[in-house]
Amino acid sequence: TIQGVRLRAISATFLTSGMRVSELVSLNRNSVDFEDKSAWVIGKGNKKRMVLLTDWAIWWAQQYLNLRKDEHEALFVTHQQGYPIVRLSPDDIRRPLRRIGRKLGVKLTPHTYRRTSGSNLYENAEDLKAVQVHLGHSDIKVTERHYVHTGYRKMKEIPEKHMHYGSNLEDIGTQAVLRWAKEHDQCLNCGTKEIRHAGKGYCYNCYMNAVNAQKRLEKSGETET
């Protein structure tokens, strides 16, 4: 349907440009340079700024315009039978997103798109200034506070690469692997020669770390392979 193609075009425009919902509804047909893949929008504080689009967003916008028979200047308009064609309002965009969000079990709003766009740009470009320009913030502190999220994708890589403390116990905290020795004079994991040992091969602290890791593993319902 033309409404479905319109929603695809809106989603692609949001995700690639990071614009606000008020900026998106202000777009006119002649605001978009389809060759340059850019557009002029009226931003916060009634300031005019340029946003950049991708081939993906441009393609969907063109598909939508090809289906339209009206001459309205707005890029995104209503298509309700029996009613005049008018420019979409922010609420006209929020409503279908709420419906999709309920089906997916997530909160989906125009601002969700905006935050996703800013976070995705930062994770891939790692350039805070670029994110500030992308989102149209006058103060870079706003960008850093509200829109830059390193995210767990990068955070997951940090412990394995950088958080090493000389431990030789395999996969501690995820999969407890206990290596026992019949005779020893020090802990097989940390090397301590203290007298108190919890089991053959390990001092009390290392043994308990491994036992607790095993308990977490069993509690999560995972199985060792």
Known catalytic membership, residue 165: no
Which 3 state secondary structure label does DSSP give 89?
Answer: coil
How many C-beta neighbours within 10 Å does residue 57 have? 24
- CA–CA gap between residue 21 and residue 111 (Å, rounded): 8
Catalytic pick from 6, 64, 134, 137?
A: 137
Which 3 state secondary structure label does DSSP give 197?
Answer: strand
Catalytic pick from 37, 111, 149, 200?
A: 111
Known catalytic membership, residue 44: yes
Catalytic pick from 64, 147, 202, 207?
A: 147
- CA–CA gap between residue 11 and residue 28 (Å, rounded): 17
Known catalytic membership, residue 113: no
What backbone phi and psi angles, to 5 degrees, belong to 167?
-80, 140
| Alpha-carbon torsion (77, 134, 110, 155), positive or negative | positive
Known catalytic membership, residue 64: no
Known catalytic membership, residue 48: no
Known catalytic membership, residue 114: yes
Catalytic pick from 114, 122, 202, 207?
A: 114
| Alpha-carbon torsion (96, 99, 104, 105), positive or negative | positive
Q: Name the residues annotated as catalytic.
A: 20, 44, 111, 114, 137, 147
